[in-house]
Amino acid sequence: MTPVKNWLRDNLKGDPILWGIVLTFGLISIAVVYSATGTLAYKKMGGNTEYYLFKHSSLIFIGLAFVWLAHKINYRYYAKLSLLALIFSVPLLIYTYLKGSNINEASRWLTIPVINQTFQPSDLAKLALISYLASILSKRQMNIESKQTLIPLFLWSGLICGLIAMSNISTGLLLFLTCLLLMFIGRIPMKSIMIMIAVGALFGTIALALGQRAQTAISRIENFMDKDQTVFQLEQSYIAIATGGVLGKGPGNSDQRNVLPHPYSDFIYAIIIEEYGMLGGAVILFLYLAFLYRGMMAVTNSLGAFGGLLSAGISFSLVIQAMVNMGVAVGLGPITGLPLPLLSMGGTSLIFTGISIGIILSVSRSEHEAKLAAAPTANKPANVLTHA
C-alpha cells in the first residue's frame, strides 16, 4: 500500500464513498463559484476575480477541516450536547430576530466580534434539533407513544421551527418537514404525526403573524401561481438553463452570471447548467441522491437506533434543501432564497455543513469499528470450552 493510501486509510475513516462525494462537491463548488462571482468581483473588488476564488477556497478547506474534526468525535457525544444546544438556541434565535443584522428585510445573522464574520443561529438550531429528536426517539422506543416522549418532541420542534420561520419561513418549513420524516422513521404513530402537523401549523401561524417575511412569502407564492406574472430572477434562470443545452457553454463562459441576482448562491444551479449543460445538472442531482443513499445506509447498518436516526435526519435536511433549491431554479417552486448546500458560496454556513457531514461520517466510522471489534467474538464457535 502506498504512503498516500496509508494516510487516507488512517485519517479519513468512515464511508469512503461519502468522503469521495463530499470532496467532489468541494472541487465543483470552487470552480463554479469562481465563475459565478466574476461580476461581483468586478463591482466590489475592482476586477480582482481571484479575491473570491481564494476566499471561497479557504472556506471550503475550513469546512473540510470541520468535517474531519467532527468525524473523529464519537457521535454518541452529540446526544448529550443536543439539549444544551437547543436551550442555548432559543435566546440566540430571539436575540437575532430582535437585534440581528437586517439584510433583505430579514434578521437572520449575528456578527461575531473580533473576526467580524456573520453567522446564522438557525444553522446551530437545526443541527441541535435533529440531534435531540434522534436521541429521544432512540431512547424511548419502548415507550414511543407516551406523553413523556411525544410532548418534548412536539414542543421543541414547534418552538425551534417557529422561531426560525419568523425571519426565514422556507428554512423553518423544511426543518419541520425533516422532523416529520425523522418521527416517521422513528416509529411515531401516524395519529401522533397528525397532531405534530397541527402543532406545527399553530407555531407557524404565530410565526407568520409576528414575523418579518409573511408578505414576502405570500407575494412569492402568488407570483408562482400566476403564470402570466414574470419574475426577473426566474426569467434569467430559465434563460441560463435554456441556453446551456446538453453539454453547456463551457466552464467560465456563463452570460447570465452578469444579470442573474445571486448567481453564486440562490441560483448557482442555473449557472451550473448554463456552463456544464443538462449533463452537468444531472451529475449534480445524482451526487445529491448518492449522498442521501449513503446517509440512509446508516439506518440499516447502525448497531443502535441513535446513529441511524441522526444520520438519516442530517441527510434529509441537506438533500431536501438541495432539491428545493434546484426545483426553484427550473421553475418547480416559488423562490425561497435557500442556497444550494455544499455548492453555494457561503461563510460560517459551510462550517455547520461540514460539522453535519462529519457527524454522518462519525456514525459510519463508529459502527464499522464496532463491527470489527465484535467480529472475533461473533466468529468464535459457541461450544468451545476454555481451560484454565
Q: Which pTM was predicted?
A: 0.89
277 CB-near residues (< 8 Å, 6+ apart): 244, 245, 246, 247, 248
Nearest Cα neighbor of 159 from 150, 168, 172, 149 is 172
Answer yes or no: are the C-beta atoms of 124 and 352 closer than 8 Å.
yes
Q: Using alpha carbons only, how large is the chain's radius of gyration in Å?
A: 22
Contact 355, 123 (CB under 8 A): no
Are 272 and 45 within 8 A, CB to CB?
Answer: no
Bridge pairing between strands 117-119 and 106-112: antiparallel
Q: Exposed, middle or buried, 274 (CB in 10 Å: 0-12/13-18/19+)?
A: buried
pLDDT tens series, the chain, 388 aa: 576 676 666 667 778 899 999 999 999 999 999 988 877 777 777 667 788 888 889 999 999 999 999 999 888 888 889 999 999 999 999 988 887 776 665 667 777 766 667 778 899 999 999 999 999 998 888 888 888 889 999 999 999 999 999 888 889 999 999 999 999 988 899 999 999 999 999 998 998 888 777 777 788 887 778 776 777 888 899 999 999 989 989 998 888 888 888 888 889 999 999 999 999 999 999 999 999 999 888 777 776 788 889 999 999 999 999 999 999 998 888 888 788 999 998 777 888 999 999 999 998 887 666 666 666 554 544 443 333 2
